[in-house]
Amino acid sequence: MSPTQSTPIAVIGAGVIGCLIAHEVLAADPGAEVTVLDRDLVGSGATRRSAGLHFPRGASPSVRAMASESQRYYAQLLAKRPELPIHPLAMTVVAPESAAPRLDEVYLPETNLRRVDKVPSAAVSLPAGAAAWAGDGCQYADVSALTQALAAELRPRVEFREGVTVTGLEPDTDGVRLTLSTGDALTARQVVLAPGPWLTHPAWRDLVAPLGARVKKIVALHIEDAPSDDDGAIVFHDEDAFLLPYRQRGHWLFSYTCTEWDVDPDAVDPGLTSVNRAEAVEVLAGYAPRLADRIRSGRVFCDAYNPGGGPLVQTLTEDGRLIFAGAAGGSGYRLAPAIAAESVRLLSKHAA
């Protein structure tokens, strides 16, 4: 076994949340030393399968604040680095005609929701009793490519250990000791755990269990119909579903709410089942029957959810050396900048 090495800050998980945490640690302190570890490659796991849609809304004041913070962050990031795979997009919200007061409570003021006569897409029509609102501030990204681009920028200052599994995580008086699949040991003064849906990994299962987070299956369908340049995202508010024109891939994506809970990310079948397809078709057929008929494939994975709503960013130990960041409930990309900022605030608060 190699001798024990040390790092001031370790981030476990090299998805979009983990890489943005490392990015923000260095933004706050350019001289910081950070090690990022992942059992796979940067941008894998849930990040690789993310739809990457950001729209400015939140079911609670705290999530709305995080959505607003994240929206500003992405706008500034894209202005600074326009080559990044972040694509501004028009947005339409579809809901019952009576839903206007509820929408105003959920969507941010900067969304500037305004009633329109129809959905600006030839593929989608409004059923009786439904109405449409246009909104601002929507975008989507190739989240895996974005995460890899951020990691490439960080590599001169951050040590990345890809393909390295953390097999043990033991807080002690000197910090947190990580044992690794390579036979190495790493002692960190502080650790941020950003494991995505891998909540029950043996190295941290007992530490994370008190959070009460659960893992739910996520299903998004690929619709083999090319969107036009004018098509935007369409959010079906009451169904908690959306249509996304994946212009960079040449097809539509339809995400609906699958209700299969307590799945294992290492065992979930990445293939689309007949049940998933039938559930999606039932939701979409009322708005876009032609698109529903063209559902042929999709992407299946899972994510961690906070039963109280909104992401979890909190300490796992009394001394604050170990922080959990995640359980974003399918909104990891959408809220990642705010999750990263809160993680850095906790790191600073509990710095030795």
pLDDT tens digits for range 190-203: 999 999 999 999 99
The pLDDT of residue 352 is above 80: no
Residue 1's pLDDT band, with cuts at 50, 70 and 90, is very low
Q: Which residues contact 31 (CB under 8 A, 6 or more apart)?
A: none
In whole angstroms, give the CA distance from residue 230 to residue 152: 33
- What is the per-residue pLDDT across 50-95, written as a single tens digit (0 to 9) for each? 999 999 999 999 999 999 999 999 999 999 999 999 999 999 999 9
In whole angstroms, give the CA distance from residue 128 to residue 253: 24
Q: CB burial class (10 A; 0-12, 13-18, 19+) of residue 302? A: buried
- pLDDT mean over 240-255: 94
pLDDT recorded at residue 324: 98
Q: Please state the pTM of the whole predicted model.
A: 0.96
The pLDDT of residue 165 is above 90: yes
- What is the per-residue pLDDT across 314-349, written as a single tens digit (0 to 9) for each? 999 999 999 999 999 999 999 999 999 999 999 999
> DSSP strand E in the chain: where?
5-12, 34-38, 53-54, 86-96, 114-116, 130-141, 158-162, 166-172, 175-180, 185-193, 214-223, 233-236, 241-246, 251-256, 295-305, 312-315, 322-326
**Pair of tokens at residue 284:** 């979409």
Rg (CA), the chain: 21
In whole angstroms, give the CA distance from residue 82 to residue 296: 33
pLDDT recorded at residue 3: 66
CATH topology of domain 88-139+214-305: D-Amino Acid Oxidase; Chain A, domain 2 (3.30.9)
> How many other C-beta atoms lie within 10 A of the C-beta of residue 205?
12
Query: Is the CATH number 3.50.50.60 carried by domain 1-85+142-213+307-352?
Result: yes
Nearest CA to 174 out of 3, 34, 352 is that of 352
pLDDT recorded at residue 248: 86
pLDDT recorded at residue 174: 81
What does the mean pLDDT of the chain come to?
95
Phi, then psi, of 187 in degrees rounded to 5: -105, 125
Residue 2's pLDDT band, with cuts at 50, 70 and 90, is low
pLDDT recorded at residue 351: 87
Same fold, 1-85+142-213+307-352 and 88-139+214-305: no
pLDDT recorded at residue 266: 95
Domain residue extents for the chain: 1-85+142-213+307-352, 88-139+214-305
